[in-house]
Structure 1
Amino acid sequence: MIIKELETQNHTDPLRRAGYEAERQMAHYLKRAFGEDPNKLVLNNLRVERGGEVAQIDHLIVLRFGLVVVESKSVAGQISVNEQGEWTRWWNRQGRGMPSPVLQGRRQLELLCALLDEHTAELLDRGLFGLKQRTFGAMRREVLVAISDGGRINRKTEVPEVVKADQVPERVQNSVNQLRGSLTAFAFSDTEMTRICAFLRNRHVPARDVQADTASAPAVPHPAPPRGLTGVTFPPHCVPVAAPALPTAVHTPTCRQCGSDQLSIQYGKNYYFKCTVCSGNTPARPICPTCQQPARLSKSGAAFTAACAGGHQWSYWTNP
């Protein structure tokens, strides 16, 4: 499924225009292969920030077993990779060195994973009957470099991360097939995949100069986006919605062990439901019924209100 479409870009610079065309080509292949697959969630042209650093990811694929970063490279002639892993771009028999897109993709993925690690408790469920917090440490992480259809690859050493753009979907499917059926493989739940995609889409910050390539275009300052209750960044120009009367939750939480709705919210490391029937614990992780983003709870007496980063609020639970 396509969670975030590729943003339309109008470049006057030929190199930027060629780069965008390579991304558009790759986005087309991913949509054709995974557009209706609920187990492969695609975010195109994702740009997130952490601690003053920026991760610019051409294509991110959230799989059941982990994350795949795809770096799109526009190549009109030929690229070569020598035994030292050094990259050269060739055009009209003239070579010019270029940074390794494999290392570039790994750096982007590393920063993205660091951002996810900071929000582990919000994004992942607790395991072992709610006693232990799951982490991102065991998830699969992979980088692929997609060379545009018109380019040629001269490999003097094996670089398994480098493929032609039309081969990326097959490589992704092969990775899934290798892990499918493994009892020890890390796997996201449906809810966790939804939370992660909503979180990343909400953290996306478009580049300020992505639509302005000419020096004559006046620079328009963009205000810093406000911070939400969960630490999630609002999208630019997104105004939180404040309802005068809080709606109630559509879904009634139940005990994950016995299915009872005889619960009360307690607080340990995080909020959780305590079942009065079987004494089991169930994480209290509200999902916004309007925008499907993860939400955070606030307490006022016996009443608990949920609020998501999109500004929606609703009455989540009242303890007996």
Structure 2
Amino acid sequence: MILKDKTLQKVTSPMAKAGQKQEQDVAFFLRRAFKDHPNVFVINDFKFTHNNETAQIDHLIIYTYGFILVESKSITGEVKVNEVGEWSRSLGNKWSGMSSPIKQVELQQKLLREMLLENKADILGKVFGIQTGFGGRSWDNLCAVSSNAIIHRETIPKGVSRQLVKTEFLVEKLHKIMRLSLDMIKKVNLFDTRAYFNNEELESVTSFLMAQLKPEILESDKTENITSPATQNISEIKTDSLLECKACGEKSDYSPQYGKYGYFIKCNKCDTNTSMKIPCLSCNSKSTKVSKKNTTYTLSCTDCTSANVLIS
């Protein structure tokens, strides 16, 4: 399931354009592979702040057994890594050093783990009075480079080589790391001894992470408009005229949240969860989609292309 798509920025330099194109390519393969998978969640452009430090993870994958961080890197020439982990790349006929994307993603992982551990009580709670945590879950990092890059694997340290993958082989590599059985839609493989998240824990982890998303910069001269024509003319409608608790009918005293099945409201009076995905207000079609930008939730219809603000 894709929790957050890649956000396109208006960039001008050739290097920035190439970097964004590489992230788009990786996001495309992840979407094709996991958009309908109930046990794999993908957050593209996961930017968060913890302990006064900010990190941006190109692609964060949360699945039954843990987490995988993927760093996208546009490299169209050759790439080498020496025995101490120092990277170099070719630009035309010249070689130059470059920062290690593996070290970069390791720092991002460290901050993410610290944030999750500090909030484990709120995220995972207790089971039979025992404080649960994130112990035993898998943590993996990968660097996805451009498909036309030339990788000198014969001289790259084995540990780095295992983390370095061309974009078209990324999904295959992810399947080998995750090792999800075919029957995992209904249950966990009883013969797998890895620590795992159950469905409720996965929902709690992903909801917590989505709540940490740092607001995007929305200045018109910095962000490319990638919305459909329908969402450019959004009808402002009061929240209480659109959403209400399915149990008690409450129309205002609720909080928006995200879970395994998408965006929903949690009633503060009766604790009932109600999906934000409602039929289109214009044509009554059920082919609708809820999206979030900062604190605004929008309902868009794919049939009549209308859009309405649910919460702002």
- TM bin, normalised by shorter chain, reads 0.5 to 0.7
Cα distance in structure 2, aligned partners of 1:42 and 1:98 = 28
**Are positions 1:106 and 2:72 aligned together?**
no
- Residue among 170, 173, 178 paired with 1:171: 173
- Residue among 195, 199, 214 paired with 1:190: 199
Cα distance in structure 2, aligned partners of 1:92 and 1:183 = 48
CA deviations 1:204-235 (Å, max 9, x no partner) are 11454997569xxxxxxxxxxxxxxxxxxxxx
CA shift in 2, pair 1:242/1:132, >3 Å: farther
Unpaired stretches in structure 1, ≥5 consecutive residues: 215-240, 252-287, 295-309
- Residue among 254, 265, 269 paired with 1:315: 269
Contact 2:106/2:141 (CA < 8 Å) preserved in 1? yes
Partner of 1:281: none
Cα distance in structure 2, aligned partners of 1:67 and 1:46 = 13
Cα distance in structure 1, aligned partners of 2:4 and 2:121 = 24
**Alpha-carbon distance, 1:14 to partner:** 1.7
Deviating 4+ runs (over 6 angstroms) = 241-244, 246-249
Query: Which entry has the higher C-alpha Rg, 1 or 2?
Result: 1
Letter in structure 2 aligned against 1:164 = K
Contact 1:125/1:192 (CA < 8 Å) preserved in 2? no
Cα distance in structure 1, aligned partners of 2:17 and 2:218 = 14
Where 2:172 maps in the other structure, the secondary structure is helix
CA shift in 2, pair 1:312/1:243, >3 Å: farther
Contact 1:249/1:314 (CA < 8 Å) preserved in 2? no
Unpaired stretches in structure 2, ≥5 consecutive residues: 182-188, 224-237, 249-253, 272-312
| Equivalent residues, number | 238
The 5 Å alignment of 1:61-76 reads 61-76=61-76
Letter in structure 1 aligned against 2:150 = R
Cα distance in structure 1, aligned partners of 2:146 and 2:69 = 16
**TM-score (ref. length: structure 2):** 0.68
Contact 2:57/2:108 (CA < 8 Å) preserved in 1? yes
Letter in structure 2 aligned against 1:316 = C
**TM-score (ref. length: structure 1):** 0.66
Partner of 1:291: 257
Where 1:316 maps in the other structure, the secondary structure is coil
**Alpha-carbon distance, 1:249 to partner:** 7.8
Partner of 2:229: none
CA shift in 2, pair 1:161/1:211, >3 Å: farther
